[in-house]
Structure 1
Amino acid sequence: MGTTQLTYGSRSTGSGRPRLHGLIGLAFGLCLALMPGAAMSNPSRPANEFAVATDARIEQAGEVVRLTMALSRPVEVSASVMAAPDRVIIDLPSVNFQVQPSAARKSAGFVSAFRFGMFTPDKSRIILDLAQPALVTRAEVRSVRGGFGELVVELKRASRAEFQAASVRAAPQAPEDPASQAAKPQGETRQLVVIDPGHGGIDPGAVVASIAEKSVVLAFGLALKGQLEASGRYRVLMTRDDDTFVPLGERVRIARAAGADLFISIHADSLTQSQDVRGATIYTGSERATDAESARLAAKENQADAVAGLDATEDMQDVAGILMDLAKRETRTFSSLFARNLVEKLGGSVRLHKVPMRSAGFRVLTAPDVPSVLIELGYMSSPKDAELLNSLSWRLQAVAAVEAAVNGFFERGQAVGKAAANQR
């Protein structure tokens, strides 16, 4: 992590929003030091050089549950277990998974499901969800004829005490310093917008009819990045620009370290119990959710780290006191301003949820000095929304509306900032 520079004063960005650095930055830096991290999506070599995985099968034979996966060549493998929730973690070098998503939804014995994907630019991960405690009795990649490999993982049911004794915490990954990738050039006056496509890599998000949320929101995020950059008014940084997992705390750190003026997280949820619910929703951060549905969604999204095999314990510490509270209060005002802009602009172009503006305790919306919103583009569980989310024409229309909201936010923010300055 980079060194925090102390500046006893305030800096005004192009939006007119005072940025309380100095003591606030130092206090929040203590919080960030506790966060698990992962490097930004920046693969060290092209995907066509990765081993290719195909033909995954999971089956039960007596007391043993066995996962097998065909590989284009042998690779190294390691295995561990983790509690709360109970799961088995299989780590491999970078692998190009060409496995049907439907295969991962199959269960066998005490394994309820499994998932796979990139975890960091140099590591892939397979996670098996356990309905009962179990231990890994075998985890190897054996060589087969023709230079191919076969991953074999065998599990056997264990007692709770045995499982707890074997469980380990996933070691935090050392991230690259995103500030070095987005340092503001001298003389640069354009605002910096951070776009955060939700989920990614090992965390697919909602999956409906083999379409993963992580792919839908990445396509939208890349289109929005292109539109904003084409205007010439903004610099844009993505928390991920490919199918790589980024922990929740790291997404916040990326925005703060880069000195972002706006943070936009993109999602597309699924409601299995109700296919008639549809439309876009805009969320801002709050300790108390506006309603039960918002609380449920925030709780679900906040489990992303656990889905990817990281320790999901709360990583934010209340060490900033009054200065942090002041920064949060001001930032939430600007977050609400942007949220209202989004509702106004999106409402003229795409269908909105019947209650389009809400708030809840999303962990990605916790930066105290960066206005942040989370956009649920629609519900993948709704056949109509799912059709639109995968429509290029709808995407371009929605992207244009978000761009208009960004423009309006910075224009109104300048006016608000000037008015506040005149009252001092």
Structure 2
Amino acid sequence: MASRANHRVLLGPGLLCAAALACANISPVGAVEGQPAPAVATSGLPTASGARLAGDSKQTRFILDLDKAVPFHAFALANPYRVVVDIPQVNFTLPAGTGSTGRGLVKAFRYGLVMPGGSRIVFDLTGPARVAKSYVLDAANGQPPRLVLEFEEVDQTTFMQSLAAANAPQLRPAISDSTDIAAPATVPAEPAKPAAADPRPLIVIDPGHGGIDNGTQAGGESEKNLVLEFALALRDRIEKSGKYRVAMTRTDDTFIPLDDRVKIARNQSAALFVSIHADALPRREGDAQGATIYTLSDRASDAEAERLAEAENKADAIGGVNLTEEPTEVADILIDLAQRETRTFSNRFARLLAGEMKNSARMYKHPLKSAGFRVLKAPDVPSVLVELGYVSNKSDLEHLVSENWRSKTAGSMAQAIDTFFAKRLATAGPAN
């Protein structure tokens, strides 16, 4: 390891303390197994080419190989125990599988784009631990620049004290030192004004997951990529008719928090919100296939719906967002769910969608379900969540990667949207 004179220490308050950590017995190991690197490389950005863990259940070191030094900031989260590291946007070219298995204090780690201009690494810990040292080593002795974190085991009291001291820093301060990185995109605080008072209904399409959150994975495919390709095809099909405006919650491999997806629809006064996903079953739970359409319910319609909603609602935890306290707006939304008209429209669209999709896609044996998905909680926007199929099923996966299948299924969804809005306009009457 290069001399400590060659590294630049970047420590956060409280959590990243300067206490010494003896690491003489820690030796490097090969790249660990884990999540695939994002598929799209971006030129001009720093590149991370390797990552490894070393150590034991008392002291564990993480090393990230880079082609240039980057600023960073780390903080911890509880329930479950995690450490989050924010860095400027990085092109991850790590070997496929990096991060899914851990060592010592680290159960596993994930990485990826969390917003334009910012990347994130999230470590799942085996128990309470803190970052005793963190620093960037400059290139030296034939070694590339490296970001190094040294974890040490602590008791729960010490861990919780470090949380209070760190105050869960946000991503923006972590990248403020980088002058060549674009500022992170934010959800507009005020409703967007439609250009030239365009009277056409606005449809918001929400490709699930993205960035650091891969979603389900099977057969070398990630849910985040499959649903983005489908959502873009659906957008193009809807726009081609000229009857509607279309907005996307994401158009690239970016992580969008769940509440921000809802805000995008509400801030722009969307007439319909369609969230696109693809499910998977663990091998021990057997096989399932076909598309399913979900609407919001305080109580899941069956155990499978409850399992899926619980998994999807953890997306922010995957991105390292602290979910211990929900914002006031979410509490308000839960109260506003008494608005029966919105729920009635959501259920009506779900039935229309199931009727059209059965002509082009295999449907699940019970295709209409309800569950407490957070992205469906806008009180004033009819919303559905569509599980296109199971990536864990060979036949469904073949459909999901097929351009022909995407085109036909997007067409059937577009037809359902036409029928839905025709019925809404007829119900409203010419006076309205």
TM-score interval, smaller chain:
0.7 to 0.9
The aligned length equals 374
**Counterpart position of 2:268:** 258
2:168 matched to 1:158? no
Task: Name the structure 2 match of 1:191.
Answer: 201
C-alpha distance in 1, partners of 2:250/2:272? 16
CA distance in 2, matches of 1:321, 1:154: 41
Structure 2 residue 322 is matched with structure 1 residue 308:
no
C-alpha distance in structure 2 between counterparts of 1:285 and 1:336, whole Å: 9
In 1, distance between residues paired with 2:385 and 2:334?
26
Q: What is the TM-score with the length of structure 1 in the denominator? A: 0.83
Residue equivalent to 2:225: 215
Mark the runs of 5 or more structure 2 residues left unpaired by the alignment: 1-40, 173-184
Decide whether the 8 Å contact of 2:53 with 2:103 is kept in 1. Answer: yes
Contact 1:58 1:106 in 2 (8 A): no
1:257 deviates by 0.5
Is 1:203 the counterpart of 2:213 in the alignment? Answer: yes
More relative contact order, 1 or 2 (CA 8 Å, 6+ apart): 1
Q: Deviations over 1:172-226 (max 9, x none)?
A: 6786344779531234121110011111111111122442211111111111111
Matches within 5 A, 1:18-417: 47-60=42-55, 63-145=58-140, 148-167=144-163, 168=166, 170-171=168-169, 176-178=186-188, 182-272=192-282, 273-312=284-323, 313-315=325-327, 316=329, 318-319=331-332, 324=336, 328-417=339-428
Structure 1 residues 145-185: Cα deviation after superposition (integer angstroms, max 9, x where no partner): 47942122221111111111112553467863447795312
Q: Identify if the C-alpha distance between structure 1 residues 224 and 379 changes in structure 2 by more than 3 Å, giving closer, same or farther.
A: same
Instruction: Indicate conservation of the 8 Å contact 1:179/1:258, yes or no.
Output: no
| Aligned-residue offset at 1:293 | 1.1
SS in 1 for 2:252: coil
Whole-angstrom distance in 2 between the partners of 1:152 and 1:80: 14
Contact 1:179 1:254 in 2 (8 A): no
- Whole-Å separation in 2 of the counterparts to 1:249 and 1:211: 26
Distance between the aligned counterparts of 1:392 and 1:325, measured in 2? 37
Q: Which whole-Å CA distance do the structure 2 matches of 1:126 and 1:269 have between them?
A: 24
Q: Call closer, same or farther: CA 1:137–1:172 in 2, change over 3 Å.
A: closer
Do the aligned partners of 1:78 and 1:139 also contact (CA within 8 Å) in 2? no
TM-score for both structures, normalised by structure 2: 0.81
SS where residue 103 of structure 1 aligns? coil
RMSD: 2.4
Structure 1: where are the runs of 5+ without partners? 1-45
Q: Which secondary structure state, in structure 1, belongs to the residue aligned with residue 186 of structure 2?
A: coil
Residue 353 of structure 1 and its aligned partner are, at CA, apart by 0.7
Amino acid aligned to 2:416: A
Letter of the aligned partner of 1:296 in structure 2? R
Deviates more, 1:75-84 or 1:366-375: 75-84
SS of the aligned residue for 2:101 comes to coil
- SS at the partner of 1:102? coil
Instruction: Tell me the CA shift for residue 379 of structure 1.
Output: 1.1
Q: Which amino acid aligns with 1:83?
A: A
SS in 2 for 1:350: coil
Change beyond 3 A, Cα 1:294–1:62: closer
Q: Distance in 1 between matches of 2:293 and 2:167?
A: 34
- Cα distance in 1 for partners of 2:80, 2:238 equals 40
- Give the % identical residues: 43
- Whole-angstrom distance in 2 between the partners of 1:221 and 1:412: 24
Structure-2 change in CA distance of 1:97 and 1:180 (3 Å): farther
